[in-house]
Structure formats: C-alpha cells, structure tokens
Amino acid sequence: MLADPYVTLGVEKSASQDEIQKAYRRLAKKLHPDLNPGNRQAEEQFKNVTAAYDLLGDADKRARFDRGEIDASGAERPAHRYYRDFSEGASPYSSDAGYEDFGDADEILAQMFSRGGRARAHMRGADIRYRLELDFLEAVNGGERQVVLPDGSALDVNIPAGTREGQILRLRGKGRPGLGDASTGDALIEIEVRPHRIFTRKGDDIHIDLPISLREAVLGGEVVAPTPAGKVMMKVPKWTNTNAVLRLKGKGARRLDGTSGDEFVTLKIMLPEKPDPELEKFVAGWRGEYSPRQATES
C-alpha cells in the first residue's frame, strides 16, 4: 500500500496547486540528498516527496488521482544516482578548499587528499534498473526480448517461461562500468505483465471462461480449449452445468522446479445469439419440473 501523497506533502485535499508547490519546495529543500550528504534516510524521504509531487503537482494527474483513475505508483520516477554518491572518488569538482586556516595541519591534510584519491579509485559500477512490459503469453511461455537502453545500446534479455508480474531479472555485468579495477554493476529488470483478453493467472495456474452450447452441456462432447501453449481438445462430460470447472493438468505456467501449474476452464452455457424457433418449440414441449432457485426462494 502506497502512502497517501497528500499526507506525504502535508497538505489538505483542498489545497491549491500553489500551496502544493510551496509544500513540495519546502520539503525538497530540506530533504534533497545532495543537500544532505551524510543523511542516508534523506534519499528515501525525498523520493516519496518527489513522487507525491509528480502526481499532485500536475493538475491533470491530480484530478485523475482524486477520481481514483490512477494510483500513487503512477508517479514513480526512474532512479538516478545523486551527486553525493560520487563524493568518494576523484572528480574534476573535488574541492580541497576550506581548511587553509588550519595552519600547519595543511601538509598532513594534503597528504591525506592524495592518498584518499588513490585508495578510493576502485568502486563497483552501479546497478541500472529498467521496467519491461511483457504480453501475457510472452511471460507465460518465455522467450527473447531486446531492451533498448537510454543510451541507445541494446540488451538481449532471456525471459524464462513462467515469469511473473513484479519479478526482477538480474543480468550480471550489464550495469554501469566500475571505477578502476572494480567490477561492472548489474542490470535489474522489473517485469510488468499486460493482462490478456481471455486468460487470467493466479499463481502458477491459468484460468479461463469457456462458453459451451446447450447441446454440448446436455449431451457432452469434445470442445477446443485455448491454453497459453496452444489449442487442446477437451472432453465435456454429459450433463455439465454453467460454472463447472474442468482442469487441464500441466497446462499452466512453468514453475522454477520445472513442473507446471494447471489450467482451470470454467464452463458457461450460452444460448444461440439469435432466437431459434426450433429450440423454442422444443423447450415449450418440455415438461421439466426443475427450479434452479430453490435455495434463493426458501
């Protein structure tokens, strides 16, 4: 559950855009990680404040949020590294001003600066994070995808079968280069899965609704059922009702241990779309005494 952006910024729901901007600036000035080099918590707090402002600072997005059309996560920013993260290494911006008035300490400090610069020249490269949106079937069946990074280079990503929403794929050594002899960072790819028109997924199982005709329901028969891997023939037993669930073993998503989940097919009896005089005549002649509403009527 994400925090309420109004609470994060400390403003009323009725606050004007101007008040929201003021609240954001007040907090951001206090919390910006580069203005708080020694405060590790500042980064997390600043991220929350910025995300809240991304949402509420834009009158359009704010209105959509108020109407409940988007949630607070709609405003997440791509991660970036703060300037303070580089303060350890040697950089053209390093400043050794500020202690000249220490007098004879000067030499010792100068020594430290040069030693510090050398000793800290090795730093593991940063991990980079991406989001990758997959089609439902692509996630279930797996495959290869190419991701184009912001700097224009392409990365081949192998999507394992059975990949889930929110799963993070780690590509070793595909992040930023390290400094000196240190190793390269990793690329972390967070997976989002687009919903499918007919399939839904619960854990490793796939669920679908499958319409059948009155004739198939009463007399039974073979019907074609779609699965993520393709169509299969499925036997519908005689006298099958709406909401009967049939299980197709092993036709769900692949698990890490190599086994697979199942597909559950919920059957729905459908009458023909256009009135069928023959069927009407037949049912009129049927003297069925059964009432399906016994439970609701008593």
Contacts to another protein by CB under 8 A: 25, 28-29, 32, 34-35, 37-38, 80-89, 91-99, 109, 112-113, 115-116, 126, 150-152, 176
CB of 119 to another protein, least distance (A): 9
- The pair of structure tokens assigned to 112 is 């430290």
- Nearer Cβ to another protein, position 88 or 205? 88
Q: Which of 110, 154, 101, 111 is nearest to 130 (CA)?
A: 154
Residue 260 has phi, psi (to 5 degrees) of -130, 155
CB of 155 to another protein, least distance (A): 16
Alpha-carbon gap, residue 65 to 50, rounded angstroms? 16
CB of 72 to another protein, least distance (A): 21
- Nearer Cβ to another protein, position 34 or 133? 34
Alpha-carbon gap, residue 64 to 70, rounded angstroms? 6
At position 179, the amino acid (one-letter code) is L
Q: Which residues contact 104 (CB under 8 A, 6 or more apart)?
A: none
- Nearer Cβ to another protein, position 99 or 282? 99
CB of 59 to another protein, least distance (A): 17
Number of helices and strands (H, E) in the chain? Answer: 9, 11
CB of 113 to another protein, least distance (A): 7
Q: Which residues contact 238 (CB under 8 A, 6 or more apart)?
A: 218, 219, 220
- Nearer Cβ to another protein, position 100 or 222? 100
- Nearer Cβ to another protein, position 115 or 238? 115
CA 112 and chain centroid, separation: 46
CA 201 and chain centroid, separation: 15
- Nearer Cβ to another protein, position 8 or 163? 8
CB of 10 to another protein, least distance (A): 17
